[in-house]
Structure 1
């Protein structure tokens, strides 16, 4: 009888802990692995884990230059990490080599027969990977609805690094906004 009470108590604590972790990860912060080369050199292609703040969900409080986690517009079962390079109302120069992606349903803001520009619509943002040559981003699937944003990346751990080196655990680093607004 004593064993049953003990296991019941342990099960109760484990269940409460699991519920706490679920609520914390759903509503406050998420710790998740990233894979792929699109965000090199900011994030590694393997064994990099990011801390994502859910406060910024649905685009709340985000700025140009922030790194985000969002659902992929072409496959909502996948998540992507990208950097915001355009906010609603911004004018974006479309890469001439990718103009086929912006044909029928995209309203061009300006067209001088060589350069084509698109204005980021209200409720959307423009995202790109830091490694442009290996990134599927807004250049491929157009502007990203703010409602697909799941959080802002605030830090990362590199599990390719040793457990503890030079006062840092697993290559911990903050992910900063590196946007520089150039004067006109």
Structure 2
């Protein structure tokens, strides 16, 4: 009986240590998390897609326009969003004209406005984010620019769990997430 208690205690100790190691690794280096929703189609699948988020980029460190990020949702900090950066601090952004009246009463100034165009300058310490599938995305067009402090990491890769993980010596479903932004200036 005593040997089985010692064995159980030893196994439990290894499980707790392993869990703590995984927690520290996910909090400090790379986070592996599931994504859901159609906002980032075709870059990310709408279900069963897991992303690798590099924590080096948290709080907006070394991010560029075109990077895909994981951030806390400004309107609900218990939720995370995956979006692409489409505006950096100081950039003048064309707000989607189909979203009329979202910025009425907002404290941020609209730089230029007419019946067809609304522009806003991204404030210092913020980024403008949008989903790749604009028709199905709640993003900066609806909740405004997000503070860099809400950025939790940059998406560097994704795993599609809709496909088998391993087949005939080939890893399926794993892909790098590239920044496909082309600066034309």
DSSP-derived class of the 1:101 partner: coil
TM-score, length basis structure 1: 0.94
Aligned to 1:136: 138
Structure 2 residue ranges without an equivalent (≥5): none
CA distance in 1, matches of 2:123, 2:146: 9
Aligned to 2:166: 164
Distance 1:39 1:4, change over 3 A: same
TM-score, length basis structure 2: 0.94
Aligned to 2:111: 109
Aligned to 1:60: 61
Please report how far the alpha carbon of residue 163 of structure 1 lies from its aligned counterpart in structure 2 after TM superposition: 2.4
CA distance in 2, matches of 1:31, 1:5: 34
Aligned to 1:88: 89
Structure 1 residue ranges without an equivalent (≥5): none
Aligned to 2:78: 77
Please report how far the alpha carbon of residue 44 of structure 1 lies from its aligned counterpart in structure 2 after TM superposition: 0.3
Residue 160 of structure 1 contacts residue 170 of structure 1 at CA under 8 Å; is this kept in 2?
no
Query: Superposition RMSD on alpha carbons, in Å?
Result: 1.4
CA distance in 2, matches of 1:127, 1:59: 12
**Pairing of 1:8-19 with structure 2 (within 5 A):** 8-19=9-20
Please report how far the alpha carbon of residue 170 of structure 1 lies from its aligned counterpart in structure 2 after TM superposition: 3.7
Aligned to 2:121: 119
Please report how far the alpha carbon of residue 53 of structure 1 lies from its aligned counterpart in structure 2 after TM superposition: 0.8
Distance 1:104 1:160, change over 3 A: same
CA distance in 1, matches of 2:151, 2:26: 15
Please report how far the alpha carbon of residue 164 of structure 1 lies from its aligned counterpart in structure 2 after TM superposition: 2.2
CA distance in 1, matches of 2:169, 2:84: 28
Distance 1:6 1:165, change over 3 A: closer
DSSP-derived class of the 2:82 partner: strand
CA distance in 2, matches of 1:14, 1:64: 41
Distance 1:166 1:156, change over 3 A: farther
